Amino acid sequence: MNTAAFADTLPAQWPAHTAAQPATRWLDEVSNLLMHWLDASRSRQTLDELDDHLLRDIGLTRAEARRESSKFFWQA
């Protein structure tokens, strides 16, 4: 296929980066999801390490903290 002839068939108003936008958007969404999972995992680990006094300050029991910290990283 003659690429010059093919390029002539594309609409002039299409910006050059149009084809890359869906891939970039997908990568951004995956990156955001991975960051969310990492934050959740770190928060749960920190929660598990709190002593009973600090847990009372935030209104949680040891059992509630253990239940939350035992969740998998992808669980809400």
Residue 7 lies in a domain: no
CB atoms within 10 A of CB 30: 10
Q: Which DSSP symbol is given to 20?
A: G
What is the distance between the alpha carbons of residues 26 and 55, in angstroms, rounded to a whole number?
38
Residue 49 lies in a domain: yes
Residue 63 lies in a domain: yes
**Crossing angle of helices 62-69 and 21-49, rounded to 10°:** 150
pTM: 0.63
Q: In a structure prediction context, what are the per-residue pLDDT tens digits for the chain, which is 76 residues long?
A: 556 666 666 566 656 655 567 778 999 999 999 999 999 999 999 999 999 999 999 999 999 999 999 999 888 7
User: Which residue carries 């598990």 as its tokens?
Assistant: 48
User: Which residue carries 């969740």 as its tokens?
Assistant: 71
Q: How many domains does the chain have?
A: 1
Q: Which domain holds residue 65?
A: 24-71
